[in-house]
Amino acid sequence: MRKVWIVILMMGVFALQAQEHISVLESNPLLQTKQKQMLKMRMASAVALPFLDDFSYNSYFPDNLLWEDSAVFINRSYPINPVTIGVATFDGLDANGMAYDISASTQAQRADSLTSRAIDLSVVDSAYLLFYYQAEGLGDNPQTEDSLVLEFLTGVDTAGLPVWKHIWSIPGQTTQEFQRMEFNIVGANYLHAGFRFRFRNYATLSGNYDHWHIDYVKVDEYSSGQIPDLNDVAFVYDNPPLLKRYREMPWTHFVNYESVEMVDSIDALIRNNEAGLSVDYRYNIFENNLLIDAFPGLGWRNYNIQDYSTIGNFSHNPIVLIDDSKFISTQADTAIFKMQHIIKTTPTDNKNNDTLKHYQKFNSHFAYDDGVAEFAYGINVQGAKMAYQFHLNKADSLRIIQIYFAPMQN
């Protein structure tokens, strides 16, 4: 088998012996496209109950019909065992993905915020706020001087500036399971048509440090003397890779090597959050908007899925097979296949997190990564070299190398 080795010269500080190291990023390039990708902000009337955001949408930015300002990063790659797919991550980067202050010390300072739009609570006698949080995850763990903070808007001062009341906070910690928090909302200060709340974090401002992740934020009427269970079955992570070695590869290197390059089974994890046990599952594969394969056939596979507190995330058993012979295209040089995972649950289940979509692209390049960088890699010696290996299934020419060089301090 042919192989390509890419040797990269890594310039760094002088050292007697080369050492590899993993560093926290000082920027997030995905957020630097915010102005291009954000939908035009629409000023809306107060949000009606229930207010619910599980961050399951496929965007790096929060829903601007629910949130009025934000510097958080919506993603599926940082959390460990999220309640549902997608979280909002707080760090030391601003809304454009750059460090708030590249020269800042490690002392914790005010960083990101996530502020709700006005929520109409004038029609209820009491309400509640529910959310889940996790420190660190697969990111950087916040230190004890760092914190995650919740505040409620109580009014304005004599200068017309908003007055926020501290409701809750927690100091930095190492990662653990997502923790559920519940708060009753009562009193004339809050039960009106303009109720707002916000999350903030304190972090090191010189980079992508001190991560907190929040999930499943909900405000609703408090009735029957208790805050209800989530009653939600959801996917947990993004679509599992379809290729054994790469996230993307050239179509011309895939054709005739399908069984070598493609996985033979796939496992899209499912989590039951206090919902019914009976869950139906299927996947569809499309090419040029035409259905070319489905599992299982034209029907559904039914599962009996116990609650997360009992079994954790549910892994498909028996395994879900992938038929590599179905991945064919009339295109000579490129192909794109859309894979769609679907779960079918009770009508009252939150439907936002019941479908996964993934576009498997075969163009002219090889890529190992998923396009989301969590950390930076380096070698701390002048003149150091590293090699990247790619296996070729046929003779070819190397024309372009794309590398993201993360901004770093000396």
Say whether both 117 and 244 belong to one domain.
no
Could you tell me if residue 357 is inside a domain? yes
Can you read off the two tokens belonging to residue 98? 């750059």
Looking at per-residue confidence, does 260 or 104 come out higher?
260
Q: Residue type at 94?
A: D
3-state secondary structure 298-358: CCCEEEECCCHHHHCCECCCCCEECCHHHCCCCCCCCEEEEEEEEEECCCCCCHHHCEEEE
* pLDDT band (50, 70, 90) for residue 2: low
Residues 88 and 44 in one domain: yes
Task: Report the candidate in 246, 261, 247, 329 with the shortest Cα–Cα distance to residue 292.
Answer: 329
Q: How many CA atoms lie within 13 A of 56 on its CB side?
A: 24
Residue 39: pLDDT band (50, 70, 90) is very low
Q: Is residue 393 part of a domain?
A: yes
Q: Are residues 302 and 392 in the same domain?
A: no
- Tell me the pLDDT band of 18, cut-offs 50, 70 and 90: low
Residue after which a domain boundary falls, among 176, 193, 228: 228
Supply the CATH number for residue 304's domain. 2.60.40.10
Nearest one of 331, 116, 84 to 213, comparing CA atoms: 84
pLDDT at 15 over 50: no
Strand residue runs (E) in 29-121: 51-53, 67-70, 73-75, 87-90, 109-116
255 shares a domain with 351 = yes
User: Residue 360 pLDDT > 90, yes or no?
Assistant: yes
- Looking at the domain assignment, is residue 398 inside a domain? yes
409 lies in some domain: yes
Q: What contacts 237, CB < 8 A, 6 or more positions away?
A: 76, 82, 85, 268, 269
| Nearest by Cα to 122 from 188, 69, 60 | 188
Q: Average pLDDT of the chain? A: 90
Q: How far apart are CA 199 and CA 181, in angstroms?
A: 13
- The per-residue pLDDT for 382 is 80
- Final residue belonging to a domain, choices 187, 213, 228: 228
Same-domain status, 186 and 92 = yes
Residue 369 lies in a domain: no
Say yes or no: 329 and 351 in one domain. Answer: yes
Partners of 301 in beta bridges: 281
In the predicted model, what is the mean pLDDT of residues 234-261? 96
155, 188: one domain: yes
What tokens were used for 27?
Answer: 């920027």
Q: Is it the case that residue 106 has pLDDT exceeding 70?
A: yes
CATH number, residue 129: 2.60.120.260
Mean pLDDT to the nearest integer, 134-146: 96
Give the integer Cα–Cα distance in Å for 88 and 51.
Answer: 16
CA 76 to chain CA mean position, Å: 2
- Which residue, 80, 103, 358, 78, is CA-closest to 242? 358
Query: Do 10 and 72 belong to one domain?
Result: no
Residues 80 and 207 in one domain: yes
In this prediction, residue 25 carries a pLDDT of 74
DSSP, collapsed to helix, strand or coil, labels residue 261 as: helix
* Among 193, 228, 263, residue at a domain's last position: 228
- Residues 79 and 180 grouped into a single domain: yes
Shared domain for 198 and 302, answered yes or no, is no
Instruction: Give the pLDDT confidence score for residue 37 in this predicted structure.
Output: 47
62, 55 Cβ separation under 8 angstroms: yes
Q: How many domains does the chain have?
A: 3
Q: What is the pTM of this model?
A: 0.91
Within a domain: 368: no
The 10s digit of each residue's pLDDT in 312-359 is 999 999 999 999 999 999 888 999 999 999 999 988 899 999 999 999
Structural domain that includes position 387: 1-23+374-410
Residue 148 banded pLDDT, cuts 50, 70, 90: very high
pLDDT digits (tens, 9 = 90+) for 165-174: 999 999 999 9
Query: Residue 79 — very low, low, confident or very high, per pLDDT cuts 50/70/90?
Result: very high
At residue 34, the 3 state secondary structure works out as helix
Report whether 135 contacts 175 (CB < 8 A): yes
Q: Six-digit token pair at 22?
A: 């993993």
Residue 176 is classified by DSSP as -
Domain membership of residue 367 (yes or no) is no
For residues 33 and 142, state if they share a domain: yes
